[in-house]
Each structure stands twice: as C-alpha cells, then as structure tokens.
Structure 1
Amino acid sequence: MLRANAATIHQLGRRHGLHCFALSAEPGELVATLDPDRSYFDVTSFETDLSSMLGALVEVVPRGPGVEVEEAEPLSDLRGAA
C-alpha cells in the first residue's frame, strides 16, 4: 500500500518537512528525514493526514541520533518515471 502511494507520500511529506522516505522492515512504518526547522508535531500531523488518506494506520520513524530502525528499501517518488 505504501509503495503504491509513493508520489502522494512524497508530496504530503514536503508540506510537513519530511523527505527521503524508506520502507521500514515493520509493516505500515516509514522512515524519513525531518527538516531541521521542524518538530515531532510535524511528524504526527503527517501520520494523521496520511493515515486518513489511506484508511490505514501509518507510523513514521524520523532518522536521527539514537534512532535505530531497519530500512527495507527506499521509497522512490515515481513521478515522471518512464
């Protein structure tokens, strides 16, 4: 489900200061980089908006010091791909 909605995830992520998404080894979980001028409020707002759009719970783990999460694969933004 997340892979199929990659373009939407990237577009919504930009509005919330999130980028460089990857699928986590855990189902329904994304890993992302949070812009330095943003906070965890932006992460939870993104989770709420995306979960509502997809009709399923989505969790985001922001990369950073002390955060250990297994990234399964990058989530490419396929817009413009041939």
Structure 2
Amino acid sequence: MRPATEAVLRANAATIHELGHRYGLHHFALSAEPGELIASLDEGRSYFDVTAFEADLTGILGAAVEVVPRGPGMEFEERESLDDLRGVA
C-alpha cells in the first residue's frame, strides 16, 4: 500500500485529531517522510495505541500512515503542524 500523501493528510486533519484523541495522540505534524506523522503521546499510553491508530487511520484513508511519537532522543524534521487544520475535513 502506498503512503498517504501530504495533501490527503492535510485534508483529513480533523479525522486525524478525532481518531488520535481516542488513542492518546495529539499535536500532529507532517514529517519529511511520505505518509509519516509526528505526534505527542499521552502518559500511560504505549506503542500498542500508536499501532492501533496507524491501522485504523490507514483503513480510513486507504493509504499507509506511520506515526513517530515525540520523545527524548527522537530527532526528526517537522514540516507542518496539523493543529490549525482541525476543521478542514
């Protein structure tokens, strides 16, 4: 399955935030990598939540999505915040 494009991720920002809330993910940003989102993970949540979110969002969008949680020792390029696009979709 091909990765989700930036346009698809932007257009579905509201869905991303709504679904993310269920899994303890928030403050989404586009990564420099295709189909990759960067997100903050609530305390007490785990990678099981991240992978469940990825699977659900991939099914909704029909394109692969990967999430990189922010944290110590994690370095990545955030291209664009999706926080301001919540009402788009």
Q: TM-score range by the shorter chain?
A: over 0.9
Tell me the SS of whatever aligns to 1:2.
Answer: helix
Aligned to 2:20: 13
TM-score by length of 1: 0.93
Tell me the SS of whatever aligns to 1:45.
Answer: helix
How many residues of Structure 1 are paired with residues of Structure 2 in the alignment? 80
Aligned to 2:57: 50
Matches of 2:82 and 2:59 in 1, distance apart?
20
Matches of 1:22 and 1:69 in 2, distance apart?
11
Segments ≥4 residues shifted beyond 3 Å: none
Structure 2 residue identity aligned to 1:24: S
Return the structure number with greater relative CO, CA threshold 8 A, min gap 6.
Answer: 2
Matches of 1:19 and 1:30 in 2, distance apart?
11
Matches of 1:29 and 1:17 in 2, distance apart?
17
Matches of 2:86 and 2:48 in 1, distance apart?
27
What are structure 1's unaligned runs of at least 5 residues? none
TM-score by length of 2: 0.86
What are structure 2's unaligned runs of at least 5 residues? 1-7
Aligned to 1:67: 74
Once superposed, what is the RMSD of the aligned Cα atoms? 1.2
